[in-house]
Amino acid sequence: MKIKIDSPLDMHLHLRDEDMLKVVAPLSAQTFSGALVMPNLIPPITTKEQLLDYKNRIEEAKKYNNFKPYMTLFFKSDYTYEFLKEIKKDILAIKLYPAGITTNSEDGVANFSIDVLSPVLEAMSELGIVLSVHGETNGFVMDREAEFIPIYEKIAKRFPKLKIVMEHITTKEAVKALDEYENLYATITLHHLYITLDDVAGGLLRPHLFCKPIAKRPEDRMALRKVAFMAHPKVMFGSDSAPHPRYKKEAPGCAAGVFSAPVALAALAQIFDEADALESLQKFVSQNAQKIYNITPPRKEVVLEKEEFLVPSSYENVVPIFANETLRWKVVDVL
């Protein structure tokens, strides 16, 4: 059994920089037509010069692959309308991080007062720039996303023309919010479709499954699967593939992030097949994102076959999800 996916997109991807960029960029570029690249480098991407330099490094690292990096800026509350108008053509979204809530987010937003955020959000709304959000508070780790929903609601009501993407949602509360506000959208990761907190810490600790936002309860995973498998028009695939070298994962102070990019399409085909939902996979990994972001990605056709695929133990020094496990689908051709 074979299926074809046209122009798959990963709408939430971490490519890092320097040596790590050279390792992971070709792995995404091989099977995806494009990806929304996160800006939380050190220092974060906040200027046009930084943005264009980083894009050039990605273009070089992707090698010969037909792949478009869709760029993002790191949200700052002091961006001017003139700056945003000038840089609009170079970005697809601006990514908002609460300060200190995840990897390299120390320079994120500490004050969520609408009065503080309003000038930038108003400009983004007028210019048609998408707001991408890591939606967590600094409360108890299992409640952080649900606690952030009122902030989404406040922004959605105040700026009804502003497209807001709730990134890597993990809870039934976030799924519910999708249908309550016209301008709320969401990405869903591969790993949150597969795992719950029990898979991370229910037995021996599995550091390569530790991520932020942390995996939640079975009922939350069920809510995510429901909207993904039906290809709800307001959800799209975003891997949140976040590579760290093995020594930073298998260590005290384990770094947060699941590396899924090289196995994402095969693992998605497997879980959608198990749910008898393969007919929805094209929308989930491409068509919905094209409509939400109004983009036309490079043409690429990825052929997957229902055939066993042994996931490598590592890609150089990065361990992927499902390492040393056998998936029941594999990528067999890229046209």
Catalytic residues, by residue number, are 240
Structure tokens belonging to residue 19: 């040596």
Distance CA 69, CA 236 (A): 17
Distance CA 303, CA 316 (A): 25
Structure tokens belonging to residue 99: 């300060």
Distance CA 95, CA 134 (A): 8
Strands 164-166 and 184-188: what pairing? parallel
Q: What is the dihedral of CA 108, 208, 20, 39, to 10 degrees?
A: -20
Q: Which residue has the tokens 């506000």?
A: 181
- Note the helical H segments in 71-217: 81-87, 114-127, 144-158, 172-178, 190-194, 197-201
Distance CA 55, CA 149 (A): 32
**CA proximity to 211, closest of 103, 75, 320, 137:** 103
Distance CA 105, CA 92 (A): 20
If DSSP codes are grouped into helix, strand and coil, which group holds residue 308? Answer: coil
Cβ neighbours, 10 Å, residue 46: 18
Distance CA 260, CA 32 (A): 13
Structure tokens belonging to residue 268: 């998605």
Helix, strand, coil percentages for the chain (3-state, nearest 5):
40, 20, 45
